[in-house]
Amino acid sequence: MSSIPTEQVSPGKASLLYDPRIRGYVYQIALVAIVAFLVWSAASNAIENLRAQKIASGFGFWHNAAGFDINQKLIPFSASGGSTYGDAFLVGLLNTLLVAALGIVFATFLGFFIGVARLSNNWVIAKLAMIYVEGIRNIPLLLQLFIWYNAVLKPLPNPRQSIALPGGTLLNNRGLYLPDPQLGPGGNLIVWAFLIGLVATFIFRSWAHKQQAVTGRQYPIGWIALGLIVVLPLLVYFVTGRPISFVYPELAGFNLRGGIQIFPEFVALLIGLTTYTAGFIAEVVRAGILAVSKGQTEAAHALGLRNGPTLKLVVIPQAMRVIIPPLTSNYLNLTKNSSLAVVIGYPDLVQVFTGTVLNQTGQAVEVVAITMAVYLTISLVTSLFMNIYNKRMALVER
Amino acid sequence: MTDATTENAPYAFVRKETLQQEPAPLSVAGPLAWIRTNLFSSPLNAILTLLCVWLVIDTVPGLVRFYVLDAVWTGTNREACLADKVGRPVGACWAYVADRTQYFIYGSYPVAERWRVNIVFAMFALGVVWLLWNRAPLKKVGVFFFFVIMPASAFILLLGGPRAESFLRFLILATFALAVIYLVLSFAPGLMKFWIGEGQLAVEEAMPAWQRFYRPKRLILLSLVVFGLLAVLADKIGLPRVDTGLWGGMTVTFLISAVGIVFSLPLGVLLALGRRSRLPAIQLLSVIFIEFVRGVPLITVLFMANTMLPLFVPQEYSPDRLLRPLVGVALFAAAYMAEVVRGGLQAMPKGQYEGAMSLGLGYWQMMRLIILPQALRIVIPGIVNTFIGLFKDTTLVAIVGIFDFLRTIEATLIDPTWATPVTRSTGYAFAAIFYFLCCWGMSRYSIAVEKRLAAGQKR
């Protein structure tokens, strides 16, 4: 140690090589230069290769006619009707959003149910919930989709031997056939009554909450909501002379005619995504409820609240703070996992666009870039909304 | 009043001896009470319990009958598993799994060369145990083995052929060169002055020559032994090239997971450091990469790797069909790993950074010696959980045409040799059991580590 020459140490006169600011600039410039070089060489190689393979570039293919059909579509699409690749993109996107939205709703209910069940005092229920969670979480989603699609739905009987479910619903290996409701004259009124009931419920609910905050009086929100949302449309239904009729699926030749056909690919994907994500949501919910300290429950009981109100007013609002951030990422995972649709042939964005359109046009760069941009946008928008919601729910410390 | 006075007092109502403890009342102890509190505590609970028991009774015996009692265990082709040929109801066809096990493990890898895959499996197992078993010795050598020696050896053994052999020759030469350099430096530490500094030099010079630079020498020695053995193998038995198109089954599943972890962990650490860096350009690039990759599904990354990677490089270097998804998986896992590591970095108290800096350590020394060892240790459960996700996600490579384990099962299902009504459910059950055991085992390990880490925090 004595060999260190102390007289040379003079602050502020270090060599430029050791100046952290200079070093920082050098590192950053070097990194940016490397990244820029990689991007540039990738781009120039891509241009070269595309020219060699005679593949067009640019987004001109968007308006070209698509030469294929898609079985499940929310907007009109047909090869003979002159639909374009752009239409195919929209069909795929809507199918992705449809399965993701339904999956999120179902997975949330199932996940909350199972998460609470795992904490149940009832030994059998808790164990069954544990087996469900462990089993679902440790088996790849892809395998689960194969099981639902190939091992459960495909071996169902053919349309001639359809399984009849209650309510005129038929199940066979071509899908689930539901009765198709037809609105007669005045049928629109029922829809309107339902919507009005929904809006009125929301208005009443916020009014009741305000009243409770001011006067302490509680109103039976649940009953009034039931009346507005269920009873009011029913009333209109009977008053207008029961204008809704159903077209039931019927056997015609080797296939069924009439009714709403839900394709087995959609059913398999929805069941697979729901059950898989529910396993993860259950764990999130369990962790959230466990994070609320027992003292909160005991204090609520000491104040005279019964079990129901304790859960509703004390435990769940606090648990939600812990639950929401991971819940959001599970919603996003579900949306991203819906891209596994490609293996069972459900026409989602990836199957239609990154699969068929990419194969037909060969424009890999554009197609993959658009697909990624869609998922990125969905992710970013969802996180944005969830962050806003999270901020509102977050603990305000005094 | 003291005890002595009460003891001597002649009060008849004061008991002199302790009573025998009474057994707990039946209502709170014993199996009956357990059943009452855990199964029938309320009418609703009683109904739910009965419902669940009915559910179990309804499903479990059927499953047991199908997969165990009625199952066919031996046979050479589909005849063994057809109900009308056997003359009894037929359950799962385990004979098919037994018949195809080799294919499930090795894919189409040539039978004569499968010993090479076995060696790689053994090295992988050794590396995993070395790193994960808490009391294994020489952890740093283990890290070197897992992240450098094992991947290089696996590449040489699995691929084979002239390219792998020239790579092996290069590795041996490089190790020899390093060995010579260290030998020279051990006798003349003064040459290293500019690198290790005056203070460290003084420490080094105080040591006898054979002790100096002891640790790097162990790494070099190990590499020399392993690569030397490989060279002997290549020389005596020969390692003919096995095209990646022939690889398949669990080999590929484990290969992708191994590549994923070996490359994603170091890359993830770098990205996490980059994201926490004070240099804006580095931070921005890291954030963009991490958020971009985490925002898109793995399938699109695989599609990108499969279709765009060949476009991004000159035609003559077009990457191998197996290499493309490997790159995709490694980059994908790196982004998730980065977020896990970032959690560990953020959990480090500021005092650790300040302490390291006040000791005069530079950025990399601080990270290498103080921060990362602690940060990585506390995120081991997170790393294992990410790895479980990665392991499950390896199934997706089947979509871009790689024969991983699940894909080999799918492939045997369309093979007429074993085409029976029960083959599919048997194959899927086998795959489910395989993935479940792997993932569940890893999650048990992660929970055990979590408990061990929490032991120090307990009050």
For B276, the 3-state DSSP assignment is: coil
pLDDT of residue A159: 79
pLDDT for the residue numbered A104: 93
| A306 belongs to a structural domain | yes
The mean per-residue pLDDT over the stretch A221-239 comes to 84
For residue B405, name the pLDDT band (cuts at 50, 70, 90). Answer: very high
Choose, out of A17, A143, A337, A380, the residue to mutate when testing the contact with B (most B CBs < 10 Å).
A143
- Check CB contact under 8 Å for B424 and A150: yes
Least confident piece of the model among A13-17, B171-175, B279-283: A13-17
Asked if the structure places residue B88 within a domain, the reply is no
**A381 and A307 fall within a common domain:** yes
Same domain for A287 and A384?
Answer: yes
Residues A19 and A128 in one domain: no
Lowest-confidence region among A134-148, B87-101, B333-347? B87-101
Residues A293 and A375 in one domain: yes
B299 with A340: Cβ contact below 8 A: yes
Point out the residue among B199, B279, B296 whose CB comes nearest to the CB of A1: B199
Supply the pTM of this predicted model.
0.85
pLDDT of the residue at A268? 92
Task: Give the per-residue pLDDT at A194.
Answer: 86
Residue B140: inside a domain: yes
Residue A345, Cβ density class (10 Å: 0-12 exposed, 13-18 middle, ≥19 buried): middle
Q: What pLDDT, in 10s, does the model give residues B96-150?
A: 888 888 999 998 888 888 888 999 999 999 998 888 887 888 888 888 888 888 8
Q: Do B56 and A27 touch (CB under 8 A)?
A: no
A121·B45 Cβ contact <8 A: yes
Mean pLDDT of all residues in B441-457: 83
Quote the domain boundaries for residue A37. 15-51
pLDDT band for position B428 (cuts 50, 70, 90): very high
Does residue B156 fall inside a structural domain?
A: yes
Q: Is residue B454 part of a domain?
A: no
Buried/exposed code over B370-404 (b: 16+ C-beta within 10 A; e: otherwise)? bbbeebbebbbbbbbbbbbbbbbbbbbbbbbebbb
**Residue position matching structure tokens 């009931």:** A197
Beta strand spans in A235-319 (E)? 244-247, 250-252, 255-257, 260-262
Contacts of A137 in chain B (CB under 8 A): 439, 443
Q: Please check whether residue B96 lies inside any domain of the structure.
A: no
Question: Among A25, A51, A77, where does a domain finish?
Answer: A51
**With contact defined as beta carbons under 8 Å apart, do B375 and B281 qualify?**
no
The pLDDT of residue A1: 42
Task: Give B-chain residues touching A333 at CB under 8 angstroms.
Answer: none
State the Cα torsion B375-B381-B385-B387 to the nearest 10°: 60
Q: Which residues of B touch A380 (CB under 8 A)?
A: 295
Give the one of A124, A147, A371 whose C-beta lies nearest to B39's C-beta: A124
For A312-347, the DSSP string reads: IIIIHHHHHHHHHHHHHHHHHHHHHHGGGGGGTT--
Instruction: Using alpha carbons, select from A328, A337, A223, A227 the residue that is nearest to residue A284.
Output: A328
C-beta atoms of A364 and B307 within 8 A = yes
Partner-chain residue, chosen from B279, B299, B406, that has the shortest CB–CB distance to A350: B299
Q: Residue B39 has what pLDDT?
A: 79
Specify the pLDDT at position B209: 66
The interface pTM score, or ipTM, of the predicted complex is 0.85
Buried b (16+ CB within 10 A) or exposed e, B226-261: bbeebbebbeeeebeebebeebbbbbbbbbbbbbbb
Model pLDDT, residue A328: 87
Averaged pLDDT, B343-355 = 90
Is B50 or B362 the better-scoring residue by pLDDT?
A: B50
CB nearest to B315's CB, from A52, A135, A372:
A52
Strand partners, A260: A178
Verify that A21 and A106 share a domain, yes or no: no
Q: A219: distance to nearest CA of chain B, Å?
A: 27
Q: Answer yes or no: do A42 and A125 share one domain.
A: no
- The more confidently predicted of residues A298 and A382 is A298
In one-letter notation, the amino acid at residue A194 is F
| Domain total of chain B | 1
Q: Residue B1 — pLDDT band, cuts 50, 70, 90?
A: very low
Q: Is residue A75 part of a domain?
A: no
**Amino acid A63: pLDDT:** 81
Enter the tokens of residue B141. Answer: 């050598």
Closest residue of chain B to A377, computed from CA coordinates: B295
- For residue B223, the enclosing domain spans 111-241
Q: Which residue reads 């109900």 in tokens?
A: B83
Of the candidates B38, B297, B440, the beta carbon closest to that of A375 is on: B297
Q: Are both A38 and A96 inside the same structural domain? A: no
- Please report whether residue B130 resides in a domain: yes
Q: What is the sign of the dihedral through the CA atoms of B67, B71, B77 and B83?
A: negative
The answer on pLDDT for A273 being more than 90 is: yes
Same domain, A289 and A380: yes
Among A48-57, A231-240, A294-303, B209-218, name the most confident range.
Answer: A294-303
User: Which pLDDT score is estimated for A2?
Assistant: 45
* Residues of chain A contacting residue B410, judged by C-beta atoms under 8 Å apart: 146
- Residue B149 lies inside a defined structural domain of this protein: yes
Q: Residue A138: which CATH number?
A: 1.10.3720.10
Residues A144 and A268 in one domain: yes
Residue B87 region, left (φ>0) first, then alpha (ψ -120 to 50), else beta? left
Give pLDDT, residue B216.
Answer: 67
**Which pLDDT score, from 0 to 100, does residue A261 have?**
83
Ramachandran region of residue B160, left (φ > 0), alpha (ψ -120 to 50) or beta?
left
Nearest CB to B428; choose among A4, A24, A151: A151
| CB pair distance less than 8 Å for A364 and B308 | yes
- Min distance A148 CA to chain B CA atoms (Å): 11
Q: Count the domains in chain A.
A: 2
**CA dihedral sign of residues A134, A138, A141, A144:** negative
Nearest CA in chain A to B50: A124
Burial call A367-392: b when 16+ CB within 10 Å, e when fewer:
bbebbbebbbebbeebbeebeeeeee
Domain assignment of residue A29, yes or no:
yes
Given a cut of 60, whether residue B459 has pLDDT beyond it is: no
Mean pLDDT for all residues in chain A? 84
With respect to residue A117, please indicate whether it lies within any of the assigned structural domains.
yes
- Alpha-carbon gap, residue A334 to B307, rounded angstroms: 25
Residue, of A55 and A263, whose pLDDT is higher = A263
Report how far residue B340's alpha carbon sits from residue B265's, in angstroms, rounded to the nearest whole number: 10
B148 falls within a domain:
yes
**Measured on CA atoms in the order A94, A95, A97, A102, is the torsion positive or negative?**
positive
Domain assignment present for A235: no
Residues A95 and A137 in one domain: yes
